[in-house]
Structure 1
Amino acid sequence: MLTNRSKQVSNKEMTLAERMYLPAVLGGLAITIRHFFMKKATIQYPEVKRYLGPVFRGHHVLKRDEQGRERCTACGLCAVACPAEAISMVAAERKKGEETLYREEKYAAVYEINMLRCIFCGLCEEACPKQAVYLRHDRMVPVFTERDQVIYGKDRLVEKLDDRYIRNNPDAQATPTEPTLSRSVG
């Protein structure tokens, strides 16, 4: 025994109602009735999508500049900032004639994000000096069924030219193939 305190034992006689557990049953019924009149906590997914707000961090995107060139310069700051070490890249030098493809002299020839490791903290987005990495707030990461689907390469990360996304634009629309998140009514 760690303390010298003596234990107090109460041997009071229980009433008939207490022996039949009436206070406990009535307390449980009161809680159930109270929850019955509350607003529903569930939604009818996938028919109704929950609004996730502007700070939600979802699908990764490698942005392009106004001329359609990749913004990423393979500086590696996003990979260093990533606490889960989910980002890997290989840098390459831009060749003559590729000025319309890449913004700087150096670019990411290979850029991969392991989505099983990613914790969606947004540190890669904050660390990028060229604002090339964005985590979209209107598109969720899909469910993975195959192991080769979990590593996103540049083919899945680089923004398509016809799918320009502006983060602070409230009217930004996702592509028709992806479901959008809308505010549910009710």
Structure 2
Amino acid sequence: MGVLDSVAGFGVTFRTMFRKTFTEDYPTKPKITAPRFHGRHQLNRWPDGLEKCVGCELCAWACPADAIYVEGAANTEEERYSPGERYGRVYQINYLRCILCGLCIEACPTRALTMTNEFELSDVSRESLIYEKHQLLAPLLPGMEEPPHPRRLGADEQEYFLGLPSTGVPDTRTGTRPPGETGERVQDARHAEAGAKVSAATEPRRATSQGGDL
């Protein structure tokens, strides 16, 4: 009886020996993450290299874990880091506290802060898990210039935020402006076009209500 009990105990072992395993060969083979995976943060740049962060600190206020610290400073024409009036002079994220929830991404008004697919954040010291601004900034791509430098894509920050660069590069979200036309005129034309569509949609309803059907 004791021998049979011992053999029966190996029944599960023998059955699973010939099944396909689901073990991942990590870290030999890098893990493939989802496209919208919440990984390490990144501070993005405009196409000319200026920083998108305007130092508003909304990400720090939105963080439930108090993991973000931001200090804003004013830009000058001689030393400009972003298209707006201010930029993030100090930007820190404490990954000992961060829960990678993404609320800071939703709070950012300029899409300056996004999350990458990088998840290997382990390190040997606590200090190294407090990321500074230079560690979070996106790398310079071809055509970008390291700040500080003047605006290259438009006369003011409004042209950056509306996606109307003076270089004529197409913007799939808002389109580009015609040569010689200001951003304000383009915006007014869009508002007028939207108003005309609303008026055309409501005109038949007004005619019906005034036709004596009531």
TM category, shorter: 0.5 to 0.7
Aligned counterpart in structure 2 of residue 162 of structure 1, from 141, 145, 168: 141
Query: Are the structure 2 counterparts of residues 141 and 124 from structure 1 closer, same or farther at C-alpha, using a change threshold of 3 Å?
Result: farther
Aligned to 1:130: 110
Runs of 4+, deviation exceeding 4 Å: 20-25
Cα RMSD of the aligned pairs, angstroms, is 2.4
Q: Structure 2 CA distance, aligned partners of 1:157 and 1:48? A: 25
**Within the alignment, does 1:60 sit opposite 2:60 as a pair?**
no
CA displacement 1:94-113 (0-9 Å, x = unmatched) = 122234x2121011110100
Aligned counterpart in structure 2 of residue 140 of structure 1, from 108, 111, 119: 119
Q: Structure 1 CA distance, aligned partners of 2:53 and 2:20? A: 46
Unaligned runs of 5+ in 1: 1-16, 165-186
Q: TM-score, normalised by structure 1?
A: 0.67
Aligned to 1:14: none
Query: Are the structure 2 counterparts of residues 83 and 133 from structure 1 closer, same or farther at C-alpha, using a change threshold of 3 Å?
Result: same
Using the TM superposition, give the Cα deviation of residue 33 of structure 1 relative to its aligned residue in structure 2, in angstroms.
3.0
SS at match of 1:112: strand
Aligned to 2:53: 72
Please give the residue correspondences for 1:83-94 in structure 2 after superposition, counting only pairs within 5 Å: 83-94=64-75
Task: Choose between structure 1 and 2 for higher RCO, CA contacts under 8 A separated by at least 6 residues.
Answer: 1
Q: Structure 1 CA distance, aligned partners of 2:19 and 2:60? A: 46
What is the letter of the counterpart of residue 67 of structure 2?
A
CA displacement 1:43-94 (0-9 Å, x = unmatched) = 3322212212213221211000122111011222211221111001111111
Aligned to 2:196: none
Aligned counterpart in structure 1 of residue 97 of structure 2, from 117, 124, 128: 117
Query: Are the structure 2 counterparts of residues 69 and 40 from structure 1 closer, same or farther at C-alpha, using a change threshold of 3 Å?
Result: same
Aligned to 2:132: 153
Query: Are the structure 2 counterparts of residues 47 and 102 from structure 1 closer, same or farther at C-alpha, using a change threshold of 3 Å?
Result: same
Q: Structure 2 CA distance, aligned partners of 1:163 and 1:152? A: 25
Aligned to 2:154: none
Which structure carries more helix by proportion?
A: 2
Percent identity of paired positions between Structure 1 and Structure 2: 39
Using the TM superposition, give the Cα deviation of residue 146 of structure 1 relative to its aligned residue in structure 2, in angstroms.
2.4
Q: TM-score, normalised by structure 2?
A: 0.59
